[in-house]
């Protein structure tokens, strides 16, 4: 013990990588449990920039065990590129372990993702087009190809044949694509298999061993609660479960192994892709926040939609994950904006006041955010390291968030640098010590 889960409390891109990086330093194992290379984060270490989409960022700590769990969908080409990138920079990836049960993204998944979005036209989801949805669909349909299949040429070929056949019709626009040839695809994936074989393991057992002997495991979530397949703004969601409960299934541990759940939220809100966003600022201020916050996707380079902090959605995330702590990132981006609005309830198109996130999508689509106006702060806060260093208005803002979200803010991000954080209170330091 302990097991610490880190989840996104908004629509993804909350800055989970930074908290993971801080806690990973002292953890024994870091494990990813869902999503795939639709996620991405950038870590700056000694002035060098590293971008990861699949490998947990803990890999930069020598000797750390980093696990890609069974709940992740893996594009092996992308994984090998990341491994090559590490090798070129002299970083040993020997601590990486990949679940034999994780599913593989195949070329037809990527094509189906693109074709599916084109077919939806105006109704498109705005996916990352990395094949995530079609891969999870095949997993559920029991037509998936798993990491362990890479180790047996005969089985691999048979499984690819079975999976490919029903897709031929849907993939007509790609019919002549060379990567869809059964023989070529099998050969390509066997080559990937040779490369990743040394990393394949019974990862659930590795986690058992670590937790059972008192080690610390960080469960690194990707995307965010509002993008959850079951609890998010369906259908404008991803195809996995980014909520904390999924850490158990996607990594292979029991609920009793989880001791803390940290939610990460920006001091404002962003969203990439389509779907409802009640606090969106589709104006100059939104553009200003986008510019100042560098709100452009790590994976697709798309501009993020920006808006005010939404405490209705945050309370919903607190409840679904039973958050024990909140990390508020990018507070520095709000310096100079006065007043600061925070949504405390919604008003439905029929005039009803809603304190809770509505369960019906039509209500959410028509909902208008109702704001509380808080005083802003002028001073730049990038150099603050203790809560007492923050302007009073910034402290009041954090108190307001804690109170309305129903969970204590225990970490605050005040800039992009690793050291640009404020740990709040004794509790947070205890987590860090334990980790």
Q: Can you point out the beta strands (E) in 92-245?
A: 96-99, 103-104, 200-201, 217-220
Helix (H) or strand (E) run with residue 170 in it: none
Residue span binding ligand IMP (CB under 6 A) among the ranges 64-72, 100-108, 130-138, 165-173: 130-138
Q: Which residue of 17, 76, 133, 413 would you call a contact of ligand IMP, by CB under 6 A?
A: 133
Catalytic center residues = 13, 41
Rounded to whole angstroms, the Cα distance separating 400 from 394 reads: 10
- Nearer to ligand IMP by Cβ, of 225 and 239: the residue is 239
Alpha-carbon distance values, 277 to 39, 253, 281, 371 (Å): 20, 34, 9, 14
Query: Which x/- pattern over 34-73 shows residues binding ligand IMP (rule: CB under 6 A)?
Result: ----xx----------------------------------
Phi and psi at residue 73, in whole multiples of 5°?
-105, 130
Helix (H) or strand (E) run with residue 34 in it: none
Q: Does position 13 bind ligand IMP by CB under 6 A?
A: yes
Q: Does position 116 bind ligand IMP by CB under 6 A?
A: no
Taking only Cα atoms into account, the Rg of the chain, rounded to an integer number of angstroms, comes to 22
- Nearer to ligand IMP by Cβ, of 53 and 159: the residue is 53
- Nearer to ligand IMP by Cβ, of 29 and 125: the residue is 125
Specify the DSSP class assigned to residue 376: -
| CA end-to-end span of the chain | 9
Residue span binding ligand IMP (CB under 6 A) among the ranges 25-33, 93-101, 123-131, 362-370: 123-131
Q: Does position 132 bind ligand IMP by CB under 6 A?
A: yes
Q: Is the sign of the CA dihedral 190, 194, 195, 197 positive or negative?
A: positive
Q: Which residue of 2, 85, 126, 276 would you call a contact of ligand IMP, by CB under 6 A?
A: 126
What contacts 197, CB < 8 A, 6 or more positions away?
A: 150, 151
Q: Which residue of 12, 15, 245, 278 would you call a contact of ligand IMP, by CB under 6 A?
A: 12
Q: Does position 127 bind ligand IMP by CB under 6 A?
A: yes
Rounded to whole angstroms, the Cα distance separating 223 from 258 reads: 20
Helices 392-405 and 311-321: angle between axes, nearest 10 degrees: 50
Query: Which x/- pattern over 216-235 shows residues binding ligand IMP (rule: CB under 6 A)?
Result: ------xx---x--------
Alpha-carbon distance values, 226 to 38, 62, 64, 302 (Å): 15, 34, 31, 19
Q: Does position 102 bind ligand IMP by CB under 6 A?
A: no
> In whole angstroms, how close is the CB of 272 to ligand IMP at the nearest point?
4
- Nearer to ligand IMP by Cβ, of 272 and 384: the residue is 272
- Nearer to ligand IMP by Cβ, of 9 and 222: the residue is 222
CA 210 to chain centre: 24
Closest residue to ligand IMP: CB criterion: 273
Q: Which residue of 15, 56, 58, 273 would you call a contact of ligand IMP, by CB under 6 A?
A: 273
Helix (H) or strand (E) run with residue 434 in it: helix 425-434
Q: Does position 10 bind ligand IMP by CB under 6 A?
A: no
Chain positions contacting ligand IMP, by CB under 6 A: 12-13, 38-39, 125-128, 130, 132-133, 222-223, 227, 236, 238-239, 272-273
């Amino acid at each position: 013990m302990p097991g610490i889960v880190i989840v996104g409390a908004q629509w993804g891109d909350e800055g989970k990588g930074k908290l993971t990086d801080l806690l990973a330093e002292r953890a024994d194992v870091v494990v990813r449990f869902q999503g795939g290379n639709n996620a991405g984060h950038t870590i700056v270490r000694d002035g060098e920039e590293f971008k990861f989409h699949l490998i947990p960022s803990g890999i930069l700590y020598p000797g750390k065990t980093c696990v890609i769990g069974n709940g992740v969908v893996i594009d092996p080409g992308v994984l090998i590129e990341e491994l090559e990138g590490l090798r070129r920079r002299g970083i040993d990836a020997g601590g990486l372990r990949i679940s034999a049960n994780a599913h593989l993204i195949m070329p037809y998944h990527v094509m189906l993702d693109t074709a599916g979005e084109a077919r939806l036209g105006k109704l498109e989801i705005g996916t990352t087009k990395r094949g995530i949805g079609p891969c999870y669909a095949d997993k559920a349909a029991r037509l998936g190809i798993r990491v362990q299949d890479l180790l047996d040429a005969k089985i691999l070929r048979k499984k690819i044949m079975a999976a490919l056949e029903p897709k031929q019709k849907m993939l007509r626009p790609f019919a002549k694509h060379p990567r869809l040839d059964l023989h070529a695809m099998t050969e390509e994936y066997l080559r990937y298999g040779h490369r990743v074989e040394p990393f394949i393991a019974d990862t659930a057992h590795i986690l058992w061993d670590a937790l059972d002997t008192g080690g610390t495991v960080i469960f690194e979530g990707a995307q965010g609660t509002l993008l959850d397949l079951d609890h998010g703004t369906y259908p404008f969601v991803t195809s996995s479960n980014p909520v904390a409960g999924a850490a158990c299934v996607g990594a292979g541990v029991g609920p009793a192994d989880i001791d803390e759940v940290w939610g990460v939220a920006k001091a404002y809100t962003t969203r990439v892709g389509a779907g409802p966003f009640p606090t969106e600022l589709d104006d100059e201020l939104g553009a200003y926040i986008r510019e100042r916050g560098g709100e452009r996707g790590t994976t697709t380079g798309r501009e993020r939609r920006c808006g005010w902090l939404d405490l209705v959605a945050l309370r919903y995330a607190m409840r679904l994950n039973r958050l024990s702590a909140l990390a508020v990132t990018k507070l520095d981006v709000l310096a100079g904006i006065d007043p600061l609005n925070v949504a405390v309830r919604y008003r439905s198109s029929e005039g009803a006041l809603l304190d809770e996130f509505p369960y019906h999508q039509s209500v959410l689509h028509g909902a208008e955010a109702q704001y509380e106006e808080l005083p802003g702060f002028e001073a730049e806060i990038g150099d603050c390291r203790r809560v007492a260093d923050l302007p009073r208005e910034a402290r009041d803002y954090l108190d307001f968030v804690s109170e309305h979200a129903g969970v204590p803010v225990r970490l605050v991000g005040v800039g992009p640098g690793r050291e640009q954080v404020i740990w709040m209170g004794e509790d947070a330091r205890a987590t860090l010590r334990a980790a």
